[in-house]
A and B are shown apart, each in its own frame.
Chain A
Amino acid sequence: MSEVFVEVVDLVGQVTDLPAEDISADARFDTLGNWTSYDALRLLTGIEQKFAVRLDLQEYFSIKDVGGLVAAVSTAQEKSG
């Protein structure tokens, strides 16, 4: 498990109130409890602050699962690094 994965899962857990153990890489956002576009924005803000990256909003909203988000963060980190 990459460091990025662990931290992304932490943030997803914070936003959804789910325990980190229950969130896997293939967990789809639209199946998480009470997932709304407002939660998606809260997660975006948290991710961008935590990793000091900026994600493309359209790409972000097309991401379906946690693994996809981890990949997007890693790519954004490489670009900014």
Chain B
Amino acid sequence: METKEMLARIRQLTKPGAAADPALLTDLRQVTDIPALLEAGRLLAKVPSELLGRLKPLRVAITGTFTASGVAPLLRVALLGKGIAPEIHVSGFDQLAVDLSSPSSPLAAFEPQVTLCLLHDDWFVPSEWDDLDEFGNAVRGRWSMFDNLVGAFTERSGSAVLVHTVPLSPVEMRGVVAFDGRAALGRAWRDLNSDLLGMALRRDQVHALDLEAYLVDAPARLRDERLYRFASAAWTPEVESVYALEAANFCRAFLGMAKKVLALDLDNTLWGGVVGDDGPSGIQIGSMYPGNAFREMQRRAVQLRKQGVILALCSKNEATIVDEVLNDHPDLVIRPADIAARAVNWQPKDHNIRGLAQQLNLGLDSFVFADDSTFETQLVRGSIPEVTVVHLNGDPADHVTALQRTGSFDVLTTTATDRERTQLYKARAERTEFADSFSSVQDYLRSLEIQVSVREADEFSLPRLIQLGQRTNQFNMIGTSHAEARTREMAASDDHLVLVFEVADRFGAEGIVGGVWVSKHDDHWLVENFVMSCRVFTRGVEHTVVQHLADRAISSGASRLEAGFKATERNKAAAAFYPDAGFEPVSEGRYTLPLLPRPQISPDWTNLVVEMESADV
């Protein structure tokens, strides 16, 4: 049980002389179960923050009109997860008026930097009312008192104050039987919420959180009537959790810790499909699903750019084809002018993100990286823990929500310079050379337990191989594909070998990702073509497959392995492979590799499985 282990780990940290556990906060992000988070937050209050990493301190006071015992622990967990070590003061039940008005209240003595005011409907609703004018006047009177209290408090204390919109209990709403009456009640209530939001616009140190709007998106009941009547708890734990997360985002914005850069993958993130294989006209982007989901993602990315977020690309692709799409594709929303820096190449993505940080001269902790691939997101998470990683692993229509929900870019206000920031950073990026330090991705690859399974193509795998041959343009050694009839002929012939291979790692299996077409000659074997999906490129899979071919050729008595190659506009990614694996060019379009002594091509982090091998004659 992971939650139990996590709580045990935190409990360990509460003991005197405990050793630091800097990975705890990252691991704690996996916990979403609210009772567990409540306990975690309660325990973390006893943990010295230096055991958790380098965190920024913040003094937060919580006061309110009702009992919200879950907000403090949930807020603590959320803040720690954002790199903030809070000192939290919680006022007693219904102390709001005293806290805000008395210069000698315990809250004032605490000297908070941020004061959260938690409000509930019955604090505004008169205990008895008969007509809606009476209701509206009473609510307005209450609000006006609150507004004055907050104004005086901010002037006196210098603390920032976060107010929020207040949802009205359905009990109040259904208490009115006339639809007209409910409409009038709803309007009077929205006037109150509008006034609450207006406080943020009128007063410098006051900010507002539109709780009513956030709750629209949460599977939460407003309150549990039993606990409301028994303990004046006006929010369920789910509502407390929504509030705590958004209040934590506010605190991060308050401390100026908002993320500055959004580094985006391209294939299956900004458009559907793989542009290197499908071609610029074959990618999914446009007005129909799923193209419209990717377009929405682009639209939201550009919206961020207009508010001061710097957009960067981090994609394994050919730069030229990406240029072509960004410049010329009619359905794209994002254009080269929106992008401040690019890392479009075949280098490991953690290396590329470090490079982007250097180019832009910004810290890695100001980066958010969004990618659909488990491989890439886990690599970056493990290699650069400072980067906020968003794994876009669901339906493309849900990608925008996944990106926005982190609240990473939330700031208190935006200014005119925010809109020009891209220009500024673009110039900076162009001046700075990309650093060529090589990062070690090998430890990560070792941890993946990559398994490459090779087998001879059969009736079941041939259709997939033929499709792969036609679709693969990037890792395709001759740029074209053997025709279906020829492939079947070769697969059936003893003088030829057609292999398919699958890749699996600890995140899951990829299925058939490539194949080779080989003709066997007495003294050498010729690899006529080798294709592989670029999803698995740069993990040593291709090396493992060629190692297998070499070993098999050796045992049948061949003395060298030859390979055909034809450069095309698209297969630059594949061009470096044969030389990298130790092959020498012998003539135009032909490489050779001596098999004596046995060449070592395969990396030490892959595991080869050979299925259903027939004898080579």
Q: When the two chains form their complex, are residues A17 and B35 in contact, meaning their CB atoms are under 8 A apart?
A: no
Q: How far is the CA of A45 from the CA of B35 in the complex (A)?
A: 7
**B202 at interface, CB cutoff 8 A:** no
Pick from B4, B11, B38, B231: contact of A10, CB under 8 Å: B4
User: Which residues in A have their C-beta under 8 angstroms from that of B38?
Assistant: 42, 45-46
- Is B4 touching A46 in the complex (CB atoms < 8 A)? no
Contact among B39, B69, B233, B237 with A14 in the assembled complex (CB-CB below 8 Å): B39
Please tell me if the beta carbons of B11 and A49 are within 8 angstroms of each other in the complex: no
Q: A38-B69, A41-B227, A57-B226 are in contact. Are A49 and B34 (CB under 8 A)?
A: yes
Q: How far is the CA of A41 from the CA of B34 in the complex (A)?
A: 14
Q: In the complex the two chains form, is B237's CB within 8 Å of A45's CB? A: yes
Interface residue total, chain B, C-beta cutoff 8 A? 17
Tell me which of A37, A45, A50, A57 has the highest count of chain B C-beta atoms within 10 A of its own C-beta. A45
Would you call A41 and B231 a contact (CB within 8 A)?
yes
A49–B69 contact, CB under 8 A? no
B contact face: mostly helix, strand, loop, or mixed: helix
In the complex, what residue of chain A is closest to B233 when comparing beta carbons? A41
Q: Which of B436-484 contact A (CB under 8 A)?
A: none
Q: Which of B1-45 contact A (CB under 8 A)?
A: 4, 7, 11, 33-36, 38-39, 43
**Complex Cα spacing A38 to B92, Å:** 13
For the complex, what is the distance from the CA of A61 to the CA of B39, rounded to whole Å? 21
Q: Nearest Cβ in chain A — how far from B22, in angstroms? A: 24
Say yes or no: is A15 at the interface (Cβ < 8 Å to chain B). yes
Residues 28-69 of chain B, each 1 if its beta carbon lies under 8 Å from chain A, else 0? 000001111011000100000000000000000000000001
**A57 touching B230, Cβ below 8 Å:** yes
B234 to chain A, nearest CB (A): 14
In A6-34, the 8 Å CB interface with B consists of 10-11, 14-15, 17
Docked complex Cα distance between A31 and B317 (Å): 66
Q: Taking chain A's interface residues, is the majority helix, strand, or loop, or is none over half, making it mixed?
A: helix
Nearest B residue to A17 by beta-carbon distance? B11
Chain B residues whose C-beta falls within 8 Å of the C-beta of A14 in the assembled complex: 7, 35-36, 39
A17 to B14, alpha carbons, bound, how many Å?
11
Across-interface contacts of B34 in A (CB, < 8 A): 49
Contacts of A10 in B (CB 8 A): 4
CB-defined contacts of A38 to chain B, threshold 8 Å: 69
Which residues of A lie under 8 Å from residue B35 when comparing CB positions?
A: 11, 14, 45-46, 49-50
Number of residues in A with C-beta < 8 Å to the partner? 14
Report the separation of the CA atoms of residues A38 and B233 in the bound assembly, to the nearest whole angstrom: 11
Interchain nearest-CB distance for A4 vs B (Å): 16
Cβ-neighbour of B39 out of A15, A37, A41 (below 8 A): A15
The interface residues of chain B lying within 8 Å CB-to-CB of A50 are 35
Q: How far is the CA of A66 from the CA of B4 in the complex (A)?
A: 20
**Cα separation A5 to B203 with both chains bound (whole Å):** 54
Q: List B85-119 residues whose CB lies under 8 Å from chain A.
A: none
Please measure, in the bound complex, the distance between the C-alpha atom of A37 and the C-alpha atom of B35, giving whole angstroms. Answer: 17
Closest to B225 in A: A57
CB distance from B240 to the nearest CB of A (A): 10
CB nearest to B38 among chain A residues: A42
> How distant is the Cα of A49 from the Cα of B219 in the complex, in angstroms?
14
Q: Complex Cα distance A50/B36, Å?
A: 10
Q: How far is the CA of A14 from the CA of B191 in the complex (A)?
A: 43
Interface mask (A66-78 → B, CB under 8 Å = 1, otherwise 0) = 0000000000000
Residues of chain A lying within 8 A (CB to CB) of residue B227: 41, 57
Q: Taking the nearest CB of chain A, how far is it from the CB of B64, in angstroms?
A: 16
From residue 360 to 375 of chain B, which have CB atoms closer than 8 A to chain A? none
Enumerate the 10 nearest inter-chain pairs by beta-carbon distance, A residue then B residue, closest first.
A46-B35, A57-B226, A14-B39, A49-B35, A45-B237, A57-B230, A41-B231, A45-B35, A14-B7, A38-B69
Q: Give me the interface of B with A, judged by CB distance under 8 Å.
A: 4, 7, 11, 33-36, 38-39, 43, 69, 226-227, 230-231, 233, 237
A sample of 28 inter-chain contacts (CB < 8 A) reads A10-B4, A11-B35, A14-B7, A14-B35, A14-B36, A14-B39, A15-B39, A37-B231, A38-B69, A41-B69, A41-B230, A41-B231, A41-B233, A42-B38, A42-B69, A45-B35, A45-B38, A45-B237, A46-B35, A46-B38, A49-B33, A49-B34, A49-B35, A49-B237, A50-B35, A57-B226, A57-B227, A57-B230
Q: A45-B237, A46-B35, A49-B33 are in contact. List 4 more A-B contacts (CB 8 A).
A: A14-B36, A38-B69, A46-B38, A49-B237
Q: Please give the residue numbers on chain A whose beta carbons come within 8 Å of chain B beta carbons, in ascending order.
A: 10-11, 14-15, 17, 37-38, 41-42, 45-46, 49-50, 57
